[in-house]
Structure 1
Amino acid sequence: MNLSIKIICTGVLTALLFSSCSSENNKGERPNILLIVSEDNGQDLGCYGNSIVHTPNLDRLAKNGVRFTNAYTTTSVCSPSRSSMLTGLYVHQNGQFGWATHNYTLFDDIKVLPQYLEEVGYRTGIIGKIHVNPDKKFNFDFRALPGSNFEKRNLSEYAHNAKKFVGGSGDVEEPYFLMVNFPDAHLPFQNDVDGLPTVKVDTSKIKNTLPFVGVNTARLRTETERYYNSINRLDESVGMLLDSIGDLSNTLIIYLSDHGAQFSRGKLTNYEGGLKIPFIMHWEEGIRSKNVLREELVSVIDIVPTILELAGGKIPEKLPGNSILKLFEEDYDPVSWRQNLGAGGVGESPVFYFPRRSIRDGRYKLIHTIDVGREEFPAYTAYTDPDFATGANQEEIEASEAQVQEAYEIFKSPPTWELYDLENDSWEFFNLAEDPNYKGVLKKMQKALISWRQETNDPFLDNIRLEKFTREMDSINILYPNHSYNKGRNVKWDYPNYLGHVE
């Protein structure tokens, strides 16, 4: 079934959600905007069907708003994903190819969300890390808790600072935009930090690891327990945040994760476990229907256009995303929404360099490994490292069923093409690219992929620029072996000068 046609609203069946697509409410006031971003978690929430976790606050937002089942990031790594949230551009368009801690950076002429919002009179604030370079480009009016806080300490401070920002304007009437970045569920997973979460998961209910992992052992189930407790703590952090702000009636709340969980075949990959994310919208004064499920393909690149439309700003034509508000207009035609959605990935530092692209439609997913002379996906080795607790190690993989072992062989040494039927194989264990029965589907998806890459000016379509980027990655890797967090912080990348920018 075409995903853009199927619309399910539990309780009220309707395609019209917003009382108005105007940027103002009935009182002529533009709404505030609260963007909540968590780290490294997929759709492992109660409202998405996970009965083990305890997520009443996020579930409540979904129950009184809109939940998107097919939401995706552009790259399954933090800095690149967040760069798309903040620019509305794919990573190969904005330049943030890897971790900000490794000095990857946006192209010089890229405009970011707080700059757009300043032009239309919004106060802007950010709590938690930006993790996109250059930092000076992000002209937020208010900043707090800029560190990563992977220890998950003092989580109530996120709520306290939100209250300070929201209530610190006195009689100023400008609406606000506030982005809050929580550290859960990033590694290391913790069952308890400062008494949080107050509700722990019931370990007797954990019979398996995350579905995309495939490997199921007691050790990995223990890691899954820690991950689920991190999700519970995230939800309690969201609850503290919402309580601290108070009146949110005229506030559009968007919640999402930056990418999937850091288990094997998740983060760092183009599999569903890495790219597919939770995405919830809630707006008390603007959403007419409640508990709405939407299956259209949406992406983090849609955040900037959505916010700009709501704020009364002009959406630049160069942005590849769409305002999600269009889905809720009375004359909305499902055919007018995207039928294909692409994603990228190159590696987060030179040691992980492995360029790839993927695209999916309403049913099928195609992953293309770009040939730059790499035979083995570096992320596979990282995940099977004994020191990497959440990865499936070699012994565990070899003890798994044959189809899981085959999937891990593909994960380790990907072919040029991987084709998956997401309707019958939602976690991509059966590669159909060589199956003659899917020859037509393969050609169709290959055509869609090349069209998307051309439309978005993918610089890696140019072999000369691709080879130059590969040489630069290799030279940095030699200069700073493994390019760890303790080395290479002074790297000056040359790629912004030859990979170009959005025209």
Structure 2
Amino acid sequence: MTADDRPDIIFLMTDQQRWDALGVHNPLVKTPNLDRLIEAGVIFPQATCQAPMCVPSRHSLMTGLYPSQNGVRSNESATPGDSAVAAPLLAEAMRAAGYLTAGFGKTHWGRTPETPSTRGFDVRVVGTRDLGLETGAVNWQEEGDPDGRAAYLEMTRGYGPGEEEPLGYIGATSTIPARNHPDGWIAEKALEWLDGPDLDTDKPLFFYLSFVKPHAGHNPAAEFEALYDIDDIPDLEMPPWDESRYDHIRVRDDHSPFLGARSQRWRDAWRALTARERRQATLRYWANCSWLDSLFGQALDRLARRGRLSNALIVFASDHGELLGERNFQFSKYCLYDSSVRVPLVVSGTAVAPHLRGTTDERPAALVDLYPTIADVAGFPVHDTAVGTSLLRRARRTGSFAEMHEPAPAWMWRTARYKLIVFVDPHGEGAQGELYDLQTDPAEWHNLYGDPSYLAVRAELMAEMVAHLATAFAVTPSHGARGVLAEYDDAVVPPSRGRVVSEVDA
């Protein structure tokens, strides 16, 4: 333990990992290291992101604000430079609180007016230019391993933008060493640093390790494919309607020539595949999850050997989900259905109270809750405009909110029982909607929005969402933006330095 006895914060992150792509939810998926974290911590199976796309989701997580509050609403919109960020970013807050901050891998700040700084990281290693470079960071593309980058680009030729064309989702067994993959190189640099002298400090550690996979392309190494038997992989189950159904995905595709054309290419390609070929594509996605799990395991082993897990909070999350061929061969995210908007979310480590370890918390948790959770454990105040709540406290919402603005706006309010989606069709007449009973229809196939017997439910959900947003956006310096629908115990007090945090602190 360091002289500063506040817990180390270990933040592990993936990109586009479905909430159910974990062994604890699906025994076919091999994620033993993450499963062990879950057994020693708390998992939040109802957790959602605040925007189902990379750039706004990550800005939301790092600022503790909804996309419409911090101004970053889509992957394609311009994002603020260092001087215009809406709130103190998480790593900056950690550094200001006295933490040694080390960040390895994807943050994806988007298209800033100038190359951003490392935004709070004392040590920073990033990936490729298309995911964003940072002044003062070591990057793979230009300074790290340009030959490895060239080999990876050759292997993924034809995968298209974001590696999300059909060939990227069909994938292939990797033909190059792991270190020539972006995540392999990031992991290598992270492990080298964990073995180095920088950890010989009295400062507590904020260690951020963020991978690009299992986002397409699906090109895992043979050893991880070999963990799976293709005969165990289920084929895709299709809904009782086709892509002509009117919903917010249809509106999205109708108003985005790029997304609409790509959706059609996915459908054409998957309809031409055999069932075995479709299962092979799913297998490769899961194999990528297993590869990242092994990399996390190596990092956790290094941290343990350096004594950095004896007093620690460990967080695992992904920025959004992946449709993976559902809903008539739709892939990627860019929608508000559960496969896209739900995320794996785990808090573990010795900073979690013993009676909470190994538990499941069914609250409507959200990625915006991670900022205040980390601040709670690290012992520094959260900025007044943050909309989240500490996951280690008793505060709870009645539902969770997400939004999407690319290319047409849509909003979600999700409770334990129902989901309301409201969207605007630029060529339609006013707001349109979808309503799903998640208990009887978890695949969200049967839209109840126009069903007369559900009008009262629809109205109640709409009122809850409006009330929540009205409070979240009506911020005062003294009260913050926790949301009118959250419940609090006034006896909850901030933790003292180095103390385990739980609701029993109340």
Q: Under a length normalisation based on structure 2, what TM-score does the superposition of the two structures give?
A: 0.69
Q: Aligned runs of 1:175-194 on 2, under 5 Å?
A: 175-192=204-221
User: Do the aligned partners of 2:225 and 2:283 also contact (CA within 8 Å) in 1?
Assistant: no
- Structure 2 counterpart of 1:425, from 435, 441, 450: 441
Q: Does 1:318 align with 2:385?
A: yes
| Counterpart position of 1:84 | 60
Is the aligned partner of 1:280 residue 2:346?
yes
> Which structure 2 segments of 5+ residues have no match?
132-148, 157-173, 243-269, 325-329, 475-506
Give the equivalent residue in structure 1 for 2:334.
268
1:446 and 1:170 map into 2 onto residues whose CA distance is 50
Give distance in 1, aligned partners of 2:424 and 2:431: 10
Q: C-alpha separation between the residues in 2 aligned to 1:88 and 1:76?
A: 16
- Is the contact made by 2:421 and 2:433 (CA closer than 8 Å) also made in structure 1? yes
- Alignment partner of 1:206 is 2:233: yes
Q: What is the aligned counterpart of 2:317 among 237, 256, 260?
A: 256
Residues 373-424 of structure 1, C-alpha deviations (whole Å, 9 max, x = no match): 379xxxxxxxxxxxxxxxxxxxxxxxxxxxxxxxxxxxxxx98010001111
CA distance in 1: counterparts of 2:240 and 2:331, whole angstroms: 6
Equivalent residue letter for 1:99? N
| Cα distance between partner residues in 1 of 2:185 and 2:348 | 23
Task: Select which of 104, 118, 125 maps to 1:127.
Answer: 104
Change (3 A) 1:196 1:128: farther
How far does residue 273 in structure 1 lie from its aligned partner after superposition? Answer: 0.9
Aligned residue pairs, count: 380
Deviation at 1:355, TM superposition (A): 0.8
Match of 1:161 among 168, 172, 189: 189
Kept in 1, the 8 Å contact 2:19–2:339? The answer is: no
Contact 1:112 1:137 in 2 (8 A): no
Query: Distance between the aligned counterparts of 1:277 and 1:65, measured in 2?
Result: 16
Mapped pair 1:364 → 2:339: no
Q: Which amino acid aligns with 1:367?
A: I
Residue type of the partner of 1:112? L
- What do the CA deviations read for 1:282-312 (whole angstroms, capped 9, x no partner)? 1135431332111011101011111111111
Q: Label 1:322 to 1:243 Cα distance change in 2 as closer, same or farther (>3 A).
A: same
Aligned runs of 1:360-439 on 2, under 5 Å? 360-373=414-427, 416-439=432-455
CA distance 1:47–1:54, change in 2 (3 Å): closer
Q: Distance in 1 between matches of 2:199 and 2:466?
A: 52
Match of 2:120 in 1: 139
Cα pair 2:94 2:120 within 8 Å, conserved: no
- Over 3 Å counting, the alpha-carbon distance change for 1:253 and 1:316 in structure 2 is same
2:469 aligned residue: 453
Residue 116 (1) aligns with residue 90 (2): no
For residue 252 of structure 1, what is the amino acid of its counterpart?
A: L
* Structure 2 Cα separation of the partners of residues 339 and 172 of structure 1: 43
Q: Which letter does structure 2 place at the counterpart of 1:261?
A: E
> What is aligned with 2:398?
339
Q: CA deviation at 1:53?
A: 1.6
Q: Map 1:45-60 onto structure 2 (within 5 A).
A: 45-60=21-36
**Residues 456, 309 of structure 1: CA spacing in aligned structure 2 closer, same or farther, 3 A cutoff?**
same
Identity %: 28
| Amino acid aligned to 1:205 | D
Match of 1:245 in 2: 303
Q: 1:369 to 1:265 in 2, by over 3 A?
A: farther
**What SS does the corresponding residue of 2:334 show, helix, strand or coil?**
coil
Structure 2 residue 357 is matched with structure 1 residue 298: no
Distance 1:26 1:123 in 2: 12
State the shift of 1:266 in Å: 5.7
Q: Give the distance between the partners of 1:170 and 1:235, measured in 2 at CA.
A: 23
Paired with 1:271 and 1:253, the residues of 2 have a C-alpha distance of: 28
Quick one: which of 241, 262, 282 aligns to 1:224?
A: 282
Report if the CA contact (8 A) 1:46-1:55 is conserved.
yes
**Structure-2 change in CA distance of 1:440 and 1:280 (3 Å):** same
Instruction: State the Cα deviation string for residues 191-225 of structure 1 (Å, max 9, x = none).
Output: 42xx5527431101112237899999614323212
Q: CA deviation at 1:440?
A: 0.5
Shift in Å, 1:64: 1.4
Go from structure 1 to structure 2 and tell me whether the alpha carbon gap of 1:374 and 1:255 turns closer, same or farther (over 3 Å shift): farther
Alignment partner of 1:48: what SS?
A: coil
Amino acid at match of 1:178: F
Q: Which residue is 1:39 aligned to?
A: 15
Determine helix, strand or coil for the equivalent of 2:405. Answer: coil
Is contact 2:42–2:360 with CA below 8 Å preserved after alignment? yes
Asked if the contact 1:159–1:244 (Cα under 8 Å) also holds between the matched residues in 2, the reply is no
**C-alpha RMSD over aligned residues:** 2.9
